[in-house]
Amino acid sequence: MDKRLSLLIKSIGFLIFLVILLNIDYVQLYDVVVNMDLNYLLLSFLFVLPQLLVRSFRWLIIIRSLSLKGVTFLRCFCYYLIAVYMGNLTPGKLGEFVKAAY
């Protein structure tokens, strides 16, 4: 991937993250974190990890169907995590664009 495009994507992500940080109501966030049920939080991790693994494997199958060589499951998993992060951080489907760029 072109270094300028990579830098642009990272810069956009950082700027959006900064805007989000500046607009958070930290008092309300603290109340939510203090009052959350930790059992539900831990249970959610049990459901999220298998989903990420399956979707990464699906991405690997798509990559290999395009005859791209040298892409391992671990790389696909890392790319997928980056895409999920960017998708959660930004509006729209920017995470899918990032995954395709990698």
**pLDDT tens for the chain, residues 1 to 102:** 577 877 787 788 788 888 888 888 999 989 998 999 999 988 988 999 999 999 999 989 988 888 877 888 998 898 888 888 877 776 666 666 666 666
Listed residue (95, 100, 96) closest to 85, CA to CA: 95
Please give the structure tokens belonging to residue 83. 């895409």
pTM check: above 0.75: no
Phi and psi, residue 66, nearest 5°: -90, 10
* 89 CB-side CA count, 13 A: 21
Please give the structure tokens belonging to residue 31. 């109340």
DSSP-derived secondary structure letter, 92: T
